[in-house]
Amino acid sequence: MVSFVNILPFVRKWEGGEVYFPTEGQWTNRGVQWTTYKALAPKLLGIPNPTVEGLRSMTEAQGDKFIEYFWNKATFNNSITNQATANAFFEMLWGGGNYGIKWLQKKIGVYPDGNVGAKTVAAANKFDPETILNEVLKRFNYLATANPAKYGGVIDGWRNRFNDLYAQSKMYFASIEDNLLKEIPESKKKSKWWLLLLAAGGGYLIYKKINKSKNGK
């Protein structure tokens, strides 16, 4: 079963302490930007009046609540069935917001509205996990090429992060045939057994008829 717990060590590793990003014009701590903290701290942490100082002193346990929140949004509450695919959707939402999700939605052939719902999940679950994961790197490269002044200086770090994500996700790669096999309804599985039994019975009757003909001669 997919879980944000599986990606937690990865996010903690790559999202360090407090940093001020001039390109963003705001503080970030544990991967959480000030605008995000200000909007969600009342709901996730019970802090009615968030402050920049509160963000800069945010604990690991508090940061984990934001990770879990975005994980649930990215996976439609764990509805994505493959951990590698779920990792890709989380990474896109965590680092790129709704624009990142739209990028993946276009790649898997669903309407790019930036929100992960039942239709997005259904399409994602039928897609090769490695192919979806590689779209994360393509997105990174696209941003660096489209806006080198803003992202050119961080693309190497993004690529290193992706390589680490890929290394931790590849254990979850599975063929789409394996995933679909698990979805075969029980009734259809039973029907296959009946077909085998009928085929075997038919073969036995033909065998008896041939023997009877030989004996009759």
Pair (149, 68) in one structural domain: yes
* pTM given for the model: 0.79
CATH number at residue 120: 1.20.141.10
Pair (147, 201) in one structural domain: no
| pLDDT for the residue numbered 1 | 82
| pLDDT for the residue numbered 151 | 85
CA 165 to chain centre: 12
Pair (83, 176) in one structural domain: yes
Pair (169, 126) in one structural domain: yes
* Domain enclosing residue 217, as ranges: 186-217
Pair (124, 199) in one structural domain: no
Pair (64, 82) in one structural domain: yes
Pair (53, 107) in one structural domain: yes
Pair (168, 129) in one structural domain: yes
Which pLDDT tens digits describe the chain residue by residue (217 residues)?
899 999 999 999 999 889 998 877 899 999 999 999 999 999 999 999 999 999 999 999 999 999 999 999 999 999 999 999 999 999 999 999 999 999 999 999 999 999 999 999 999 999 999 999 999 999 999 999 999 988 888 899 999 999 999 999 999 997 444 444 344 344 444 444 433 444 455 554 444 554 555 455 4
Closest CA relative to residue 104, chosen from 122, 124, 87, 84: 124
Pair (35, 134) in one structural domain: yes
Pair (177, 199) in one structural domain: no
Q: What is the 3-state secondary structure (H, E, C) of the chain?
A: CCCHHHCHHHHHHHCCCCEEECCCCEEEECCEEHHHHHHHHHHHCCCCCCCHHHHHCCCHHHHHHHHHHHHHHHHCCCCCCCHHHHHHHHHHHHHHHHHHHHHHHHHHCCCCCCCCCHHHHHHHCCCCHHHHHHHHHHHHHHHHHHCHHHHCCCHHHHHHHHHHHHHHHHHHCCCHHHHHHCCCCHHHHHHHHHHHHHHHHHHHHHHHHHHHHHHHC
Pair (12, 57) in one structural domain: yes
Pair (21, 108) in one structural domain: yes
Domains contained in the chain, number? 2
